[in-house]
Structure 1
Amino acid sequence: MKLGVNHKNGRPWSLTSWLNEVVPVPGQFSLEWDPKGRQLIIRRQGVEFWTSGVLKGGKFEFISDESKHMYNFTIVSNEDEEHLVYNDINQGGQSAWFLSFEGKLLGFDGSYIAETENCNGHSTDEGCKRWLPSCRSRDDMFDKRSGYFIQGPEPSSLDNNTKHTMNDCRVTCWNLCGCDAYTFLYDNQTGCKFWEKKGEFFQDLSGIIPALYVLIPKSSQNVNSK
């Protein structure tokens, strides 16, 4: 495969994720090569989610340390096309890249090339792009927890769109002031449930209650980590 641009028709060559781990239709994330910026870009629904940093000396700033020692990168550019080429320095095994439905870029052995776990809207670490609503703090984060809200267990609203994945649920809840938690609606992990203005959340460590992705303020993170 190629990551780049076909100059003859102007079309990009890119890599697209699955919708989720069990539905192999085009998903929310794409990986492409940006010729002008000389960098790799992971986009979520067309919006920049992560960037590799500019290619310098055959290396990218924000790929994993392991990948920096594993690959050398070069650019092929002529009148017909421009694309990125990588060489496996070890030259011993198979080589392939995979873009997960969560927006993570992985090598053939499952190792991270781009770890985007912390690309949650407020972080700019390791190439993440920021989108921060006025109602959120940069230290707020979602954490998977079992438990219940003081004002009841039922969700406030549902999104029954089967093209929406957990990434969509997270972004919607992050951008929706008053949203306290989310999870998927259907068994194939599509659609969304949202809990809004439900008050205090009580964590249950028994594991009996299904887990939600709950918005945790920085102050609560410090308390729970002790």
Structure 2
Amino acid sequence: MDLDNLKEIWKDLDEKDFHPAKREGIVPAVTSHEEEIAAILRKRSQNPIAKIKRNLATETIVIVVLYSITMWYYITAWKGQYWEIAVLLGIIGASFVVYYFRKNKLLKEMQRVDYEVKANLEQRLHTLEKYVRFYFVSGTVLTPAAYFVAGVIVLFKTPPRSTEKIPPMFTHITGHDYFVLFTVSGVALAIGSYFLNVWYSNKLYGRHINKLKNLLNQMDEEV
């Protein structure tokens, strides 16, 4: 059974969450098979959890930087004509940061090596899958939603027949051609964001979760 990849999986999990018996001073019995698994888990090796944490941290840094630049742009450009777009981006960005901290906490909890390896991994892995599913759905929905909300903001805040305080791309905001182009672009963005999120979520998280599932299956075969 190849369990080297689980070396770091349970490193930081708080014992009181999973070991009420230990809190009461009761030491559970450990079979030789469990000792063998625990020993294997402690060996140095690369593991899926570490990769997920690295991908999550990199993605968060990129999003914070890009969102900050874009928000600053909408706050300062055209004398703050479209500051609401900056607020919209700020809300989305803040939501992702909250998601990052919650998911990162879960990943740290999955890096603990203890006697209840299989049961704890199954429980945490199920929660991790929910996080990734939420990430996929929210990313697919929020991208086109933010696009259309921003379009509505521009529509209602663009002064008619004025080009002095607004960008050139918005000078014909009330034109029929603009609405057609805007709607077609929004639909294309919605479809594109779905397929992009399928690929992106799998590349960053899905394939590593599948590796953990395979390791759980190997543990089942050894029981």
Higher relative contact order (CA 8 A, sep 6+): 2
**Higher normalized strand content (fraction of residues):** 1
TM-score normalised according to structure 1 size:
0.21
**Higher normalized helix content (fraction of residues):** 2
TM-score normalised according to structure 2 size:
0.21
